[in-house]
Amino acid sequence: MKALIWDGGKWPQGITYGEFQRPKVPPGWALVESRRTGICGSDLHYLQGYTRHLVPDSSLPAVMGHETTGIVAEVGEGVEGLEIGDRVGLESLHACKELGRRPCAMCQIGMYNLCHGLSIVGVPIGAMIPGGYGQYSLFHGTRVFKLPDSVSFEEAALLDTLACTVHAVNLGKPALGDVVAVVGCGIIGIDTIQCLRAAGVGSIIAVAKYDWQGEFARSYGATEVILGGEARKPAAQVKRLTQGWGVDQVYECVGGETDAMQESLAMVRPGGRLIMEGVFSGSRPLDLLKLLLMESPILPSMCYSHHLGKREFQMALDMVARGAAEQASMVTHRFAADDWREAFQVAIDKNKHHAVKVMFEL
């Protein structure tokens, strides 16, 4: 099959477009022909070398792409409820049961997102399962969701990001009347705003790095927008908007090599919650004395799993199907697989191109 293949080297030399072995379909799994695949910021971190140390050489070469959707091309023995040609949404997380192991303690209680041996389709850590940057990808039958006619392929490809923010808001448990800040207005920040709105939060302060991101956040339901950056002192502006008190919750959606958690701590009220959604590339500074004196819990949010007995990926799909979350307009740039160089460069230079989500049309 044709695929974008990463050999572990840095962008742009480390990736090529060529032939890769088509996955064989074991019992219990399904082969999916890719239709749409988004470029995630975590993919760019691997390509740019920031998180290369997390990737074992045994996982290379890799076909990435975990924000993906497509059509069932082949169904393995024992898979029920799926037929060739079905349009499907795809949950990329695979844990003990799906990988044929005895369930670990976290899998036994339904928190498979914290499985010690977690493998994610299209992510080169753990057991490497080829993802949506290839013509075909492989998913366990329990991770394949039939799409309603009302949900497009583009919307389905973004269910992974929406499910992550569903999980974050389920962890945060915002209360009626809470004032909430969302730090970072890429797609995770925008989806967090949508989930907060769906949870009934009426006062959302969005902290955006760029003007165009701030406009986007407002269009998706932010009630106030603050432009970030050290010179603008966003924490001071949040305190001003809350009469010096601070917000009840902060959802951090930046990660990387930034000081977004320290900035978030400066925005929250005493006892308020910090929900960390961003993927940081290593150790970052945090004023632990202030954290102690504030008694503000930090809740890291790792992907998604179950909430109150329901799969959070299904929750995300239900939100899109009933119109509670709008995903389509977040796809700002579309490329054929042949134009992969331009696609990745646009995603890297997102401010220059005002790119929210760059997607391959396969």
pLDDT value for 54: 87
* Segments forming the whole domain that contains residue 44: 2-158+327-361
Q: Quote the CA–CA distance of 42 and 60 in Å, as a whole number.
A: 17
Higher-confidence residue of 256 and 137: namely 137
The per-residue pLDDT for range 265-295, each reduced to its tens digit, is 999 999 999 999 999 888 899 999 999 999 9
Mean pLDDT calculated for residue range 85-93: 98
The CATH number of the domain holding residue 132 is 3.90.180.10
Q: Over 80: is that where the pLDDT of 126 sits?
A: no
Specify whether 221 is located in the same domain as 133.
Answer: no
Q: With pLDDT > 90 as the criterion, what percentage of the chain qualifies?
A: 92
**Which amino acid, 332?**
T
Give Dmax over CA atoms of the chain in angstroms.
62
Which DSSP state fits 46? H
The CATH number of the domain holding residue 291 is 3.40.50.720
Q: Quote the CA–CA distance of 341 and 199 in Å, as a whole number.
A: 39
pTM: 0.96
The continuous run of DSSP H or E covering 288 comes out as helix 288-294
Q: Quote the CA–CA distance of 45 and 50 in Å, as a whole number.
A: 5
In a domain, 339, yes or no: yes
The answer to whether 274 touches 265, Cβ cutoff 8 Å, is yes
In a domain, 254, yes or no: yes
Q: Over 90: is that where the pLDDT of 78 sits?
A: yes
In a domain, 310, yes or no: no
Name every residue whose Cβ is closer than 8 Å to that of residue 214 and which is 6 or more positions away in sequence. 185, 206, 208, 222, 225, 226, 227
Counting the structural domains of the chain, the total is 2
In a domain, 104, yes or no: yes
Specify whether 237 is located in the same domain as 340.
Answer: no
